[in-house]
Structure 1
Amino acid sequence: MDTLGYTGDVITHVVFKSGGKQYRVNGDLFVLGANAIQSPAILLRSGIVHGETGLNLHEQIGASVEVFLDGLASLNGSSISTGLNYCFYDGEFRRERAATLTSFDNRWPYGLRTEPGKWHHLLPLTLVTEELPSLENKVTVDDATGKAVIHHTGPSTYAKLGLQYALDNLDGLLEPLPVEAVHFREWRITESHVQGTLRMGKNGDGSVIDHSLLHHRKRNLVVVGTSTFPSSSASNPSLTAAALSIRAAELLFA
């Protein structure tokens, strides 16, 4: 299992296995970017625990819907997502329920329609809702194997209310289209955007890293990726994660 070695508050080396062999690499600066599950697991295995290391695991929740259109063919082009709608995204309501992003998709995850002449008269939608971090949702490591273990209690009421509101109000969003029927298909298992287990903040507030993505205690350890996010949004986090990483490099070498 991968671990970080250190003397005092300075990381000195990393130990890892590859091809059945164990390696040790020494260095002066280390960057940890193994996602929001494995990054905290590496720190926990290494005995590097500061603030809420491994806690606040969260990601968006989502639902899939298919809209059958009356005489309108919608599938065309090369991109999976042909449009994003933000009408359920912001407002005073966020005190009580989450923001939701609606993606108009250019694929057919449940197959094409079977009616003659209507096979592509459909519009798949993906509704994605922000989620709140929770101390109950976390990553730990198994004492015997050292492998990461995920503990998750399920979506929050805040997130479920936001997603349900968007589902209940799709008629207004789709009003300009010739809608024949709206079919709820499934609650999505994951959005593959796990976040928050090594969140950034001020030292002493439970956070693990600072605004420049440096570990509060191990000051030659940079943590990158969505594990650093204090909270999620309903939008894809990839560009934000990349921008934070570029910013951290610029601050480090300025």
Structure 2
Amino acid sequence: MQPDVIIIGSGMGGATLAAALAPSGRRILILERGETLQPSPADRDARAIFEAGVFRPDEQWLDGSDQPFSPGNYYCVGGNSKFYGAVLIRYREADFASIQHRGGSTPGWPISYHDLEPDYLAAEHLYEVRGTTGEDPTEPPRSGRYLHGPVADEPDISDLRQRLKIAGLTPASLPLGVDIDRWLAAGQDPWDAHPDTCGGKMDAETIAIKQALEHANVELRTGCLVSGLSVGDDGRISGVTCVMRGKVQTVTAPTVVVSAGAVQTAALLLASANDNHPNGLANRSGQVGRNFMNHNCSALMALHPLQKNRAIYQKTLMINDFYLSDGQGGMPMGNVQLLGKISAPILTAASPLPKWLAHLIAARSFDFYAMSEDLPHPDSRVMLKDGQIKLNWQRSNWATHEALVATLKTYLRKAGFPIVLSRAFDRRTPSHQCGTARMGHDPDTSVVDTFCRSHDHPNLFIVDASVLPTSAAVNPALTIAALALRSARHITETEFAA
């Protein structure tokens, strides 16, 4: 078919956009470099996932010192959401304004929380989010409720919730995109970082791609690696070049959307440089690839030698007592949430622990994920070197994260855990990459406008984590989905009305 819209990438941004545009009747072509994940014995095998890395692509990027590393991004229908922790949480209202941190201040957004709130609600309903209101002290105003109650705490996690309260914290239920009964029916395992091939997670494929493909006007092409965009004399994107099954082809459409993720989107725009656009497409501002952010994250294990944790999935609580301030009127520190239950294979994959000791620790650990905001900086960036992606991530605001980890350790000891261990995540773990095609009003300092339309090319939209002006300190998936719904409405009202 000759498409009206080409969407490059089927992750949270591209898939949500496709689902929102599908009822219009316009012909939509989704190009995905990966394939659909098929059920396999490795799906619930922690050794295969964390030790052997069977789902990790055979890909190398360069770091800021030109040293190669494996980035751990996933290429498949649904993108990284197929492996995500399914936390679908809104940015807090304050995140849209400038915030002062220990490491500097955030720039704020060109739109407010209230501008995006209706789309947040629509995204929660689309992804069937399980949650509740009234527990979290930082919860922003809402125009409607969740359609489903929260995923239940397991007994040992219910006990943990009470212990955290007694220690002076305010645990709240995580908003999750998980059908827990369906997930557990396929295996008694956590979902965090596990591939979803049973439809138990409300990910981009399970929900949005499935809905989009129910419409005859939507086509999904897998195994299609997009290598470049071409642009006409009028400044409009005139072609999308891709390699599919070893053959190079060019497809065209009046509207082109790049939703390849914060790193790959920037790399594609830079790789599409030509004589008229020597610095890459959509890059009059020079901001494409810049302002890369990747949350400052650490895993913490709270242990008591005489207490076992019998939880299977664990990941149902969050703590935001330190999100808007340090708890004493100082600067914010970040979000805390439970990890999916850590197992012995995960520990042995990440450390030299002998297996017997790893099993002993994993059986007793309560596992937390501490997350602090990484601030945008123009020198933290995605580049290309001889065609290879070079990611010079310059971690910022680290003192804030250290303070969060230290504070959390203190409270966990108050909650009855004499041993608390922590380990920071490094660049091999993609912790919510964002920011490389930032949104803004000014074409001289931003890449897209507030509807994710390129300032430079009127028929080009960028709809993924690239456009986020700030990383906040919560998981970005729901914000990406909400922005995709906002962008879809704008495309319908402008591009389709023409």
Higher helix share: 2
Q: For residues 48-87 of structure 1, what are the structure 2 equivalents within 5 Å? A: 48=281, 49-51=283-285, 52-69=287-304, 71-78=306-313, 81-87=315-321
Q: Distance in 2 between matches of 1:103 and 1:122?
A: 14
Aligned to 2:417: 179
Aligned to 2:370: 127
Aligned to 2:435: 196
Q: For residues 139-158 of structure 1, what are the structure 2 equivalents within 5 Å? A: 139-142=382-385, 145-152=386-393, 154-156=394-396
Residue pair 1:56, 1:197 contacting (<8 A) in 2 also: yes
Q: Aligned pair in 2 of structure 1 residues 209, 183: CA closer, same or farther (>3 Å)?
A: same
Aligned residues: 246
Higher relative contact order (CA 8 A, sep 6+): 1
Q: Distance in 2 between matches of 1:92 and 1:116?
A: 35
Aligned to 2:480: 241
Report how far residue 126 of structure 1 moved.
Answer: 1.6
Return 190-199 or 128-137, whichever deviates more: 190-199
Q: Aligned pair in 2 of structure 1 residues 183, 29: CA closer, same or farther (>3 Å)?
A: same
Provide, for residues 201-249 of structure 1, a one-character-per-residue CA deviation record: whole Å limited to 9, x for no partner: 0123510000000001111111011000001011110111011011100
Report how far residue 74 of structure 1 moved.
Answer: 3.1
Q: Aligned pair in 2 of structure 1 residues 202, 113: CA closer, same or farther (>3 Å)?
A: farther
Residue pair 1:76, 1:106 contacting (<8 A) in 2 also: no
Q: What amino acid sits opposite 1:38 in the alignment?
A: Q
Alignment of 1:110 with 2:347, yes or no, is yes
Q: Aligned pair in 2 of structure 1 residues 74, 208: CA closer, same or farther (>3 Å)?
A: same
Residue pair 1:71, 1:178 contacting (<8 A) in 2 also: no
Q: Aligned pair in 2 of structure 1 residues 5, 78: CA closer, same or farther (>3 Å)?
A: same
Q: What amino acid sits opposite 1:99 in the alignment?
A: M
Residue pair 2:293, 2:434 contacting (<8 A) in 1 also: yes
Q: Aligned pair in 2 of structure 1 residues 66, 20: CA closer, same or farther (>3 Å)?
A: same
Q: Distance in 2 between matches of 1:149 and 1:168?
A: 33
Structure 2: 5+ residue stretches without partners: 1-225, 274-280, 349-354, 494-498
Q: What amino acid sits opposite 2:297 in the alignment?
A: G
Q: Distance in 2 between matches of 1:135 and 1:106?
A: 34
Normalized against structure 2, the TM-score is what? 0.46
Q: Distance in 2 between matches of 1:131 and 1:97?
A: 14
Q: Aligned pair in 2 of structure 1 residues 105, 113: CA closer, same or farther (>3 Å)?
A: farther
Report how far residue 122 of structure 1 moved.
Answer: 2.1
Q: What amino acid sits opposite 2:243 in the alignment?
A: K
Q: What amino acid sits opposite 2:372 in the alignment?
A: T
Normalized against structure 1, the TM-score is what? 0.86
Report how far residue 110 of structure 1 moved.
Answer: 2.5
2:246 to 20, 26, 33: 20
Q: Aligned pair in 2 of structure 1 residues 22, 183: CA closer, same or farther (>3 Å)?
A: same
Q: Secondary structure at the match of 1:16?
A: strand
Report how far residue 177 of structure 1 moved.
Answer: 2.5
Q: Secondary structure at the match of 1:253?
A: helix
Return 22-31 or 161-170, whichever deviates more: 161-170
Report how far residue 75 of structure 1 moved.
Answer: 3.7
Q: Aligned pair in 2 of structure 1 residues 191, 15: CA closer, same or farther (>3 Å)?
A: closer
Structure 1: 5+ residue stretches without partners: none
Aligned to 1:213: 452
Q: Aligned pair in 2 of structure 1 residues 67, 147: CA closer, same or farther (>3 Å)?
A: same
Aligned to 1:4: 229
Q: Distance in 2 between matches of 1:115 and 1:211?
A: 48
Q: What amino acid sits opposite 1:166 in the alignment?
A: L
Q: Distance in 2 between matches of 1:225 and 1:5?
A: 20
Residue pair 2:440, 2:448 contacting (<8 A) in 1 also: yes
Report how far residue 99 of structure 1 moved.
Answer: 2.9
Q: Which runs of 4+ in 1 moved over 4 A?
A: 95-98, 111-119
Aligned to 2:263: 37
Q: Distance in 1 between matches of 2:377 and 2:441?
A: 18
Q: Aligned pair in 2 of structure 1 residues 25, 6: CA closer, same or farther (>3 Å)?
A: same
Q: What amino acid sits opposite 1:162 in the alignment?
A: T
Residue pair 1:101, 1:127 contacting (<8 A) in 2 also: yes
